[in-house]
Amino acid sequence: MINNFHFLFVSLFGIGKISKIPGSIASLATTIFLFFLFHILNISPNIILVCILIIFFFSIYSISVFIKNLDDKDPKVIVIDEFIGQSIPICLYEIAHETTNDTGQVLTFYFIMFILFRIFDITKPYPVSYYDKKFKNSFGVVMDDVCAGLYVVGILVLYMVITS
């Protein structure tokens, strides 16, 4: 029962079992889910940020339980890290643009954040690659995606500075 719970959590309710590009599908599902929370249900970005922090800490524990007896310490079935990494730029964007009502602009930025996150998660520039290679544990699994998400934040901040 406990192992089933950890599997459901780390695989984002089974998305990680999809045979082709589970990380990209998890990132896309996260993007759609967060759009729904922010723009359909109108949930405060601060509440969602707190939830993401809770998920971050619990995911480190849950992944460690899940991979404990596995040889591969970062199996493709684990996609909760994509959820966390993709959530960082989207949540910070929503905090910075809480009054934005232009759906077209929001969807454009969500699409850009999705693409940028996937690029950084796949290409793994430093320090993403550092966490991916040096930490063969739950911390490394999550932190490489956190760094990829922070790269997206950096690119968006740079864009906003240049265009303002």
Percent of the chain at pLDDT exceeding 90: 75
Print burial letters for 8-35: b (CB count within 10 Å at least 16), e (below 16).
ebbbbeebbebeeebbbbbbbbbbeebb
State how many domains the chain has: 1
CB 152 within 8 A of CB 117: yes
For residue 1, the model assigns a pLDDT of 62
What is the rounded average pLDDT of the residues 13-35? 96
Helix (H) / strand (E) element for 90: namely helix 80-96
For residue 4, the model assigns a pLDDT of 85
pTM beyond 0.75: the answer is yes
Which residue segment(s) compose the domain that 50 sits in?
2-11+20-163
Place of tokens 């009054």: 99
Hey, is 100 helix, strand or coil? coil
Which parts of the chain are beta strand (E)?
none
